[in-house]
Structures are given as C-alpha cells and as structure tokens.
C-alpha cells in the first residue's frame, strides 16, 4: 500500500503546451509535446499517446498536469523528460488531466 510519503515523492506540476508535433517514429500513435512549467522548471518535452481526442493545433495553449521528477526516458529516437498525465475513456483512449481554470505555471499538485 502506498503512503503519503510515497505521494510526496512525486512532483506533479501544471504546465502549458507550447509546441505539439507529429511523432511518426512512435510504435503507437503519439505526439511530441513541449510544455512550459514557468521560470523554475522551464520547458520540458514529452511523448503523449493522445491522438484520438486531440488535434495538434488544438493542443497549443492547453494547461496539463505532468510528473516532472521522473528520470528521462528514451522513446525511440525521442527523449521524454516528463510524464503528462491522462485518464482512459471508455475505449481506453487517453484524456488529458488539467485544471478547470487557468492557474499559474509550475504550480504543484498537493
């Protein structure tokens, strides 16, 4: 069973997608994202399997939640630095987790 201390080890922050590109080299359909977390953390990149519910042009400017303190992970030729969070819909396709209203970039989830 996880403890509150385990949860405290995760650094989950809010960021804004500033770039979204196709990722044709991915094994499963995905996009390459650049997410701005503000001055403290800066811009980090991630791969996200969110192609069913989102178009590239609609992702720019969207706030998302992401784990920012996992080690970088190589996904094919791409280095993913964060884990953008999402939940599966009824068909198992990812829906992004985001605040209901804009909040300051870099804010931590507690």
> What is the rounded CA–CA span in Å between residue 2 and residue 7?
8
Contacts of 103 (CB under 8 A, 6+ apart): 14, 63
Neighbours of 89 (CB within 10 A): 11
Neighbours of 4 (CB within 10 A): 6
Query: How sure is the predictor about 16, in pLDDT bands with cuts at 50, 70 and 90?
Result: very high
Supply the pTM of this predicted model. Answer: 0.95
- 17-52 pLDDT, tens per residue? 999 999 999 999 999 999 999 999 999 999 999 999
Domains, the chain, ordered by start: 4-96 (2.40.50.140)
Query: How sure is the predictor about 11, in pLDDT bands with cuts at 50, 70 and 90?
Result: very high
């Amino acid at each position: 069973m996880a403890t509150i201390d385990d949860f405290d080890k995760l650094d989950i922050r809010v960021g804004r997608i500033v770039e979204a590109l196709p990722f044709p080299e991915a094994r499963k359909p995905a996009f390459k994202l650049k997410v701005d977390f503000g001055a403290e953390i800066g811009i980090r990149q991630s791969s996200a399997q969110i192609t069913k519910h989102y178009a590239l042009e609609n992702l720019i400017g969207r706030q998302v939640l992401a784990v920012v303190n996992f080690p970088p992970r190589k996904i094919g030729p791409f280095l993913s630095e964060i884990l953008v969070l999402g939940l599966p819909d009824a068909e198992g396709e990812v829906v992004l987790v985001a605040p209901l209203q804009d909040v300051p970039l870099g804010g931590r989830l507690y």
